[in-house]
Chain A
Amino acid sequence: MTVMRIGRRRRGAPAGPAADRDGRFGTVLVATGAGILAVVALAVLFAPLLSSWGPNEIDPDGSTLAAPGGAHLFGTDVNGMDVWSRLLYAGRVDLGIAVAAVAAAVVLGSILGVVAGYFGGWLDDALMRLTDIFQAFPTFILALAVAALLGSGPVNLAVAIALVNAPAYARLVRAEVRTVRDLTFVDAARTSGASTIGLLWRHVLPNSITPVRVIAPLNCGWAMLTLAGLSFLGLGIPVPDAEWGAMISLGTGDVVAGRWWTSVPPGIALLVCVLGFSLLGEGLQERADRVRR
């Protein structure tokens, strides 16, 4: 019986899709997303090297809405400013606000979520009702109100978007904490005499923010879209500072007239950037799913 008979080789079983390949596509997604974002980040970081015009510099020759070519790679906009240069500098604003807003939302949401989820009881009820209230609030109205209240600078917009997003994180983290706090290792740490803060910081929090790490990139993309929406409603970054959403909405009228260059490039930049975040998020999600299985 020691003779090994070379049998027919079968690859895979008919039932059950390819579990292994998930991870691979997840990695492709993550890599693509990260790659896109890296390129965009580099481009906006080195904006001064990549463009000869300042973002708010008006072409003294007075050529507004000049077609691409010549002195202006992507032409000029209605104010006579260089579209390419604005495109690059706008990225700083967009990426900066999105990332800062989401980071702030994560921190705020996590704190609320951990406190609510861990302590439970009336504190949980109160905090959750509070997040309910803010979640039930229409996104745009809340963002608009905050922007109107604080004024429309980049920092204030980030605050507005962070406030809009924080409740979701609070819920996410809370749900996770409620599971984690009943897990054995938390009990173990408790019987070992760990203090509450230590317990939360060293044991509960690190194990509760996994989903947050997956959602955050997706949310960054979404934050950029929200910012664009606010700009479209005239409540984004005030002129003349460049921001993709504002550039798009300023240029929508031009597209109809066949002057694509004022709004298509920022549109694509926004699309690509949000897509980068989405791919990253989706990929992370897929990899997280695989680890869970």
Chain B
Amino acid sequence: MRILRFVVRRLLQLIPVLLGVVVVTFLLVRVLPGDPIRTILGPNATAADEAAARARFGLDKPLWQQFLDYLGGLFTGDLGTSIQSGQSVTGELALRLGPTMELVVLAVAIAVVIATVVGLWSARHANRAGDHSIRVLALIGNSMPEFWLGLVLILVGYAGLGWFPAPSGRVDPDTDLTPITGADALDALLTGNMPALTSALWHLVLPVLTLVVAIVAPLLRSVRASALEVLRSEPYAAAAAHGLPGKLLRRGYLVRAALVRLPSLAALVFGFAIGSTVLIEYVYSWQGFGQWALRGLLYRDFPVVQASVLVVALCYVVVFLIADVVHAMLDPRVRI
């Protein structure tokens, strides 16, 4: 199958990129000022203690040796041991990725749906009051720092109205949710734990909303512009001139053609969202990947930083790959 060949070829292309990311991160964390070992030793540690700790994490070996060890570990799925927690980074990562992905995937999905529906509407009512207000509103949302918006939403939604649960945790602990993937709503669904599902979804509302507001504007703009372009294009005019009914026009001649540019942009936005969850996670006490990576960086927890960068890069390239495949499915002109 062509698409399979394309995917395989693209996956092969990813290897140098990921390898590059691995090398750059590896060197970068070591170039940064700061020492991961000093932070884990008590106040009475001596130079010998320090050396012992350094040796425990293999940081006494020459750089190339450390790199080879790291690379070797990567192939066996071993991302090393966190200097701060002593836990396997792979394990911690598995725990942290779920919550963040839950947030980002949900937010991007919702934003894409909103952008599609509202964008198409906006294009069909272009340059009327409704269209103008939607666009300006989206821009305003896009112009707010997420952490600020998050705080306002908490003040209103939690402290003021009391509609939403406290910004602490992701699910009510009394619901006894059995973690599987780390994405609580998904786990609740998988285990059929209805109270947990409700609780998890309820916890998700505000953070997801914050993220959606922050990312919807560019998506909306793109859909609207593409739709407008289609509406004013010859093919659409041709179909309209042949008297095709409005519903058929929209379904057959507008939607798909207007959405061809969305996947790549959505992928870009996804990458951005993963990056910016660190702020949202902080505000909503959402202990996900962003907070973990940030802490890793602040404490120069080498394996954690390396793993988190690698994972974000991996997500990023995979999402782009998916976007390209979806794009190819939407747009028959794309050669893959």
Question: Using a CB–CB distance below 8 Å, which chain A residues touch chain B?
Answer: 15-19, 21-22, 24-25, 129-130, 132-133, 135-141, 144-145, 148-149, 221, 225, 228-229, 232-233, 245, 248-249, 252, 255-256, 263, 267, 270-272, 274-275, 278-279, 282, 285, 289, 293
Contacts and interface: CB of A to CB of B under 8 A. Distances in A.
B162 interface: no
Interface in B24-68: 24-25, 28-29, 31-34
B144 interface: yes
16 contacts: A15-B237, A17-B232, A130-B20, A136-B18, A138-B312, A138-B313, A139-B275, A141-B305, A141-B312, A149-B32, A232-B147, A232-B282, A248-B148, A270-B145, A272-B143, A278-B139
B140 interface: yes
Given A252-B151, A256-B151, A278-B139, 5 more contacts: A17-B124, A17-B231, A136-B316, A139-B275, A275-B139
B185 interface: no
Given A129-B20, A252-B151, A137 B312 contact: yes
A235 B185 CA distance: 33
A136 B17 contact: yes
Interface string B248-283: 000000000000000000000001101110110010
B324 interface: no
B317 interface: yes
A2 to B, nearest CB: 32
Interface in B297-331: 297, 305, 308-309, 312-313, 316-317
A272 to B, nearest CB: 8
Q: Interface residue tally of chain B, by bracket?
A: 35 or more
B153 interface: no
**Which A-B residue pairs are the 8 nearest by beta carbons?**
A136-B313, A274-B143, A139-B275, A133-B20, A21-B127, A138-B312, A275-B143, A17-B126
Nearest to B18: A136
Nearest to A134: B24
B334 to A, nearest CB: 14
Nearest to A148: B32
A293 B237 CA distance: 14
A141 B309 contact: yes
Contacts of B316: 135-136
A282 B135 contact: yes
A145 to B, nearest CB: 5
A149 B143 contact: no
A24 B25 CA distance: 48
A140 B308 contact: no
A232 B33 CA distance: 21
B113 interface: no
A229 B237 contact: no
Nearest to A231: B145
B106 interface: no
Given A18-B127, A138-B274, A278 B28 contact: no
Nearest to B296: A141
Given A136-B317, A138-B308, A140-B275, A16 B231 contact: yes
B221 interface: yes
Interface in B71-124: 123-124
Contacts of A252: 147-148, 151
Contacts of A16: 231-232, 237, 240
A136 B21 contact: yes
The DSSP consensus for interface residues of chain B is helix
Given A18-B126, A133-B20, A255-B151, A229 B217 contact: no
A178 B254 CA distance: 29
B291 to A, nearest CB: 10
B294 interface: yes
B275 A148 contact: no
B194 interface: no
Contacts of A271: 140, 143-144
A134 B115 CA distance: 28
Contacts of A22: 126-127, 228
A232 B279 contact: yes
Given A145-B28, A229-B147, A289-B225, A140 B135 contact: no
Contacts of B186: none
Interface string B202-246: 000000000000000100010001001101100001001000000
A16 B240 CA distance: 9
A24 B127 CA distance: 9
A227 B159 CA distance: 28
A138 B275 contact: yes
Contacts of B33: 148-149
B225 A225 contact: no
B132 A25 contact: yes
Nearest to B16: A129
B171 interface: no
A108 B43 CA distance: 46
Contacts of A272: 143
A271 B151 CA distance: 15
B95 to A, nearest CB: 18
A17 B127 CA distance: 8
Contacts of B232: 16-17, 19, 293
Contacts of B308: 138, 141
Contacts of A278: 139, 142-143, 217
B287 to A, nearest CB: 16
Task: Output the residue of A18, A136, A148, A267 with the most chain B CB within 10 A.
Answer: A136
A228 B145 contact: yes
B293 interface: yes
Contacts of A141: 275, 293, 297, 305, 308-309, 312
Contacts of A229: 145-147, 276, 279
A138 to B, nearest CB: 4
